[in-house]
Amino acid sequence: MRKVLEVKNVSKLYKIYKSNTDRLKEIFTKKSYHKEFIANNSISFELFEGETLGIIGVNGAGKSTILKIIAGVIEPSSGEVIRHGRVTALLELGTGFNNEMSGYENIYLNGTLIGMKRDEVAKVAKDIVEFSELGDYIHEPIKSYSSGMRMRLAFSIAIFSEPQILIVDEALSVGDAHFASKCTNALRERKKQNMSIIYVSHDLNSLKLLCDRVILLNHGEIVEEGESEDVINSYNFLISKLNDNEDKMVIKEANNSSFGTFEVEIKEVKIIGKKSKSNLISSGEESTIEVIIEAKKALKDMTVGIMIRDKFGQDIFGTNSFYQNIAIDFESNCSYLCSFDMPLNIGTGKYSITTAVHSKDNHLDNCSHWLDHATDFEVAGIEGELFAGICRLEPKIRFTKRDNQPCTE
Binding site for other proteins (CB under 8 A): 14-15, 20-21, 23-24, 27, 68, 71-75, 87, 89, 91-92, 95-96, 98, 100-101, 109, 112-115, 117-118
Q: 116 vs 304, which CB is nearer to other proteins?
A: 116
Q: Minimum CB separation from other proteins for residue 113, in Å?
A: 6
Rg from Cα positions in the chain: 27
Q: Minimum CB separation from other proteins for residue 91, in Å?
A: 5
Q: Minimum CB separation from other proteins for residue 112, in Å?
A: 6
Residues 6+ apart with CB under 8 A from 131: 156, 159, 160, 182, 186
Q: How far apart are the first and last CA of the chain?
A: 50
Give me the amino acid identity at 308: I
Closest Cα partner for 322 from 340, 303, 307?
303
b/e map 198-231, b = 16+ CB within 10 Å: bbbbebbbbbbbbbebbbbbbebbbebbeebbeb
Residues 6+ apart with CB under 8 A from 292: 266, 267, 268, 269, 335, 336, 337
Q: 118 vs 350, which CB is nearer to other proteins?
A: 118
Number of H helices, E strands in the chain: 8, 19
Q: 159 vs 291, which CB is nearer to other proteins?
A: 159
Q: 55 vs 302, which CB is nearer to other proteins?
A: 55
Q: 102 vs 184, which CB is nearer to other proteins?
A: 102
Q: Minimum CB separation from other proteins for residue 100, in Å?
A: 6
Compute the distance between CA of residue 56 and CA of residue 206 in angstroms, rounded to an integer.
12
Q: 23 vs 219, which CB is nearer to other proteins?
A: 23
Count other Cβ atoms within 10 Å, centred on residue 136. Answer: 7
Compute the distance between CA of residue 273 and CA of residue 162 in angstroms, rounded to an integer.
40
Q: Minimum CB separation from other proteins for residue 228, in Å?
A: 27
Compute the distance between CA of residue 88 and CA of residue 393 in angstroms, rounded to an integer.
42
Q: Minimum CB separation from other proteins for residue 117, in Å?
A: 8
Q: 90 vs 293, which CB is nearer to other proteins?
A: 90
Containing H/E element for 207?
A: helix 204-210
Q: Minimum CB separation from other proteins for residue 28, in Å?
A: 8
Q: 95 vs 255, which CB is nearer to other proteins?
A: 95
Q: Minimum CB separation from other proteins for residue 136, in Å?
A: 20
